[in-house]
């Protein structure tokens, strides 16, 4: 059994996808189509811009998606296999779920690019700059984190944004509450508890204005049945029902990314190979730590495809 996974925000970097575009026409077509869909030279920002430009949520989200789709199309061409021949399940971390749905033909590349640009804008505008924060808590369990969050909530909204892996949780919410949670975590055995350099507090209740905007956009979009089941961030379960897939994307804006449970599902289903497509190797790293004996592969640059050539 095989998984294909797509990275989320944080994996962006200047130059991502450039070599792929220069070496494979399938990749170039993806980047050109995303530029056209957005009426924006996104690739110029991706390949010639600054770290601050590519890290803007409105740029990072469609850019990471484009890299993931481009890598998939190259892989599919070189192996001469469809998605259903390459994997049994697909999923992505946060915005990566949109990438997974694009390659599974739930909606088109153009539709996804526009959706993610809107999602990035809505999430950025949902909370005034300086009001929200996110923090990584390392070395404590999810149950401990739940207790920490409960205590911090008397100071404001504080939710679990990303349950990434065993001992790695990200919290999100009001600055005061998140900082209080950091103090509590340090006093309760956390190895590290640090604020993250993010532009907004993603995946928490403060994102409600963005959830409303995405609900309207997604309700106006036709969803097709995916070629293979998509494992949702919100449920950590595989789905093919289009209504469920749509509602999961809506709820994902304010809900927790349950990646640890997604990897536990992979382990329980007997997944032997996990393939990460796009920028970076964050997700293969998590899988390696959580699933003993799993074969990890990642495809980002032309040299990653050399073995197939």
* Partners of residue 15 on adjacent β-strands: none
For the chain, report the end-to-end CA distance as a whole number of angstroms.
24
Helix or strand holding residue 132 (H, E): strand 132-138
Single out the catalytic residue among 203, 232, 279, 298. Answer: 203
Single out the catalytic residue among 11, 21, 55, 94. Answer: 94
Which residue in 126, 109, 103 sits closest to 57, CA to CA?
126
Find out whether 203 and 169 touch, Cβ atoms under 8 Å: no
Residue 39 tokens read as 């009426």
For residues 42 and 40, what is the distance between their CA atoms, to the nearest angstrom?
5
3-state secondary structure of 2: strand
- Crossing angle between the packed helical segments 57-79 and 109-125, to the nearest 10 degrees: 150
Find out whether 57 and 43 touch, Cβ atoms under 8 Å: no
For the chain, percent helix, then strand, then coil, each to nearest 5? 50, 15, 30
**Where would I find the H helices in 80-135?**
83-86, 96-103, 109-125
Does residue 94 carry a catalytic annotation?
yes
Does residue 199 carry a catalytic annotation?
no
The per-residue DSSP string of 258-308 comes to -HHHHHHHHHHTT--EEEEESS-SHHHHHHHHHSTTPEEEEE-SGGGGGGG
Catalytic residues: 94, 203
């Amino acid at each position: 059994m095989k998984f294909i996974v797509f990275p989320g925000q944080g994996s962006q970097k200047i130059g991502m996808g450039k070599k792929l575009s220069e070496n494979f026409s399938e990749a170039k077509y993806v980047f050109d189509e995303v530029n056209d869909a957005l009426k924006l030279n996104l690739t110029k920002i991706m390949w010639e811009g600054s770290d601050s430009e590519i890290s803007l949520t409105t740029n990072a989200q469609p850019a990471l998606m484009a890299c993931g789709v481009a890598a998939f199309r190259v892989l599919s061409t070189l192996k001469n296999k469809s998605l259903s021949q390459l994997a049994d399940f697909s999923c992505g971390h946060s915005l990566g779920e949109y990438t997974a749905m694009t390659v599974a033909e739930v909606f088109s590349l153009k539709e996804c690019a526009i959706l993610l640009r809107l999602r990035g804008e809505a999430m950025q505008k949902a909370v005034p700059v300086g009001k929200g924060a996110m923090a990584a808590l390392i070395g404590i369990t999810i149950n401990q984190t739940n207790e920490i969050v409960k205590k911090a909530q008397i100071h404001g909204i504080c939710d679990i944004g990303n349950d990434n892996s065993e001992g790695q949780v990200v919290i999100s919410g009001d600055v005061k509450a998140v900082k209080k949670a950091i103090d509590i975590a340090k006093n309760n055995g956390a190895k590290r508890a640090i604020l993250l350099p993010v532009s907004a507090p993603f995946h928490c209740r403060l994102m409600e204005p963005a959830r409303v905007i995405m609900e309207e956009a997604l309700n106006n979009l036709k969803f097709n049945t995916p070629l293979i089941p998509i494992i949702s961030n919100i449920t950590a379960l595989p789905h093919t029902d289009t209504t469920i897939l749509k509602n999961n994307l809506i709820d994902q804006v304010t809900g927790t990314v349950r990646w640890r449970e997604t990897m536990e599902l992979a382990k329980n289903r007997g997944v032997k190979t996990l393939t990460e497509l796009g920028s970076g190797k964050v997700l293969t790293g998590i899988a390696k730590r959580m699933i003993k004996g799993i074969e990890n592969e990642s495809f980002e640059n032309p040299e990653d495809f050399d073995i197939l050539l």
